Amino acid sequence: MPSAPRVPRWDAHRLPDARGRNFLVTGGNAGIGYFVAEQLAATGATVVIGCRDRARAEAAIGSVRSRIPGATVRHVPLDLADRASLKASVDALGLDRLDAVVHNAGVLLDDPPRRETRDGLELMFATNHLGHFALTHHLAPLLAATPGSRIVTTGSFAAKSERLDLDDLQSTRDYRPKRTYARSKLAQMLFAVELDRRLRACGSTTLSVLVHPGGALDSLTPSRPPVHVRTTGERLRNLPLGLVVQGKDTVAWPAVRAVLDPAVRGGLMLSPRAFGLRGTPEAEPLWKQLTDTRTAERLWAASCDLTGTDPVFPAPATGERPVAPEASRVRPSGGHVR
């Protein structure tokens, strides 16, 4: 019996070559998304930054190119809160294949009042969850045309203690900004897990992978002017916090691994190994609320109704269903993921 192929141990500092591949990073102009885009660009891949603001996107692109001469990185206008614009954004990609999309962009409002999109949807839920849900629908043909493509969804530790109120997804009765944000991220995470189930059921080669970055501070994040500027004083004052959290360059690692590591399989959740807050990315068991298939199915149905879309991936032709070698499946430490 032939031996299973060896899979190299993942090293965040030695990323595999990805020349010829195309990656889309939503919100890749700032924060964690910027470092995801920068690190993916270093592999030789074509990286597209999805962003509403052209000037901010161009600043990010300039920063990437200043650090990675010859990097292939460009911008596509993308406003996740504007449902009607998403198809045009996907058409503007001008690609015939897409190897991965990183659903990273997000909105966090700190104070009331409650805000709505032009479609009358609560802004954080509409942007963080529904926008990515609808975007996946429009990207489905490109992803399906690319064997082994990946949909990487960025969750949040803030969602761990929350539960969805399926009767008040728009937070019309109970609007508390931090809770509404956490629930929008929980919805994203449930979407990623439910998407994995649906992709498997139709035999698709596309993988849905969930990540949460852990804890990050701007003061621990290296400068990338004009995208981000950190002073030496800020870094020194907050250096002790590096025992618990880390910079945004490092918390980008789970998403980067989810995109690039050939050992990653659908349905995994990757997070920093030290209490989910810092360290190298490893697979961890799904949180209990993420295994609630009934809630995930009801959320999916509600999301279809609210967006008028359904991220459906066509099944491969008979006899083409892939079988991943056992050795290529990353398993979580200390638990089992479905």
Q: Could you state, in chain order, the average pLDDT of each consecutive group of 10 residues for the chain (338 residues)?
A: 60 96 98 98 98 98 97 98 97 97 96 95 98 98 97 96 96 95 98 98 96 91 92 75 84 98 97 89 96 97 98 69 39 35
Alpha helices in 202-292 (DSSP H): 232-238, 248-251, 253-260
Determine how β-strand 150-154 pairs with β-strand 72-77.
unpaired
Strands (E) across 155-277 are located at: 207-211, 269-274
Assigned token pair, 296: 């995930």
pLDDT of residue 335: 33
Give the pLDDT score at 264.
Answer: 97
Residue 316 DSSP label: P
Q: Are 149 and 208 in contact (CB under 8 A)?
A: no
Tokens (6 digits) for 269? 């959740």
Q: Hey, which residues are catalytic here?
A: 181
Tell me which residue has tokens 């082994």: 148
The pLDDT assigned to 7 comes to 56
- Residue 32 near residue 154 (C-beta atoms within 8 A): yes
Rounded to whole angstroms, what are the CA distances from 135 to 74, 153, 300? 18, 12, 14
Pick from 239, 238, 172, 205: nearest CA to 320: 205
Residue 174 DSSP class: S
What global pTM score does this model have? 0.91
Q: Which two tokens stand for residue 68?
A: 């990675």
Collapsing DSSP states into helix, strand and coil, what is residue 84?
helix
- In 3D space, the residue among 7, 193, 18 whose CA is nearest the CA of residue 99 turns out to be 18
Output the pLDDT for position 274.
87
DSSP-based three-state secondary structure for 242: helix
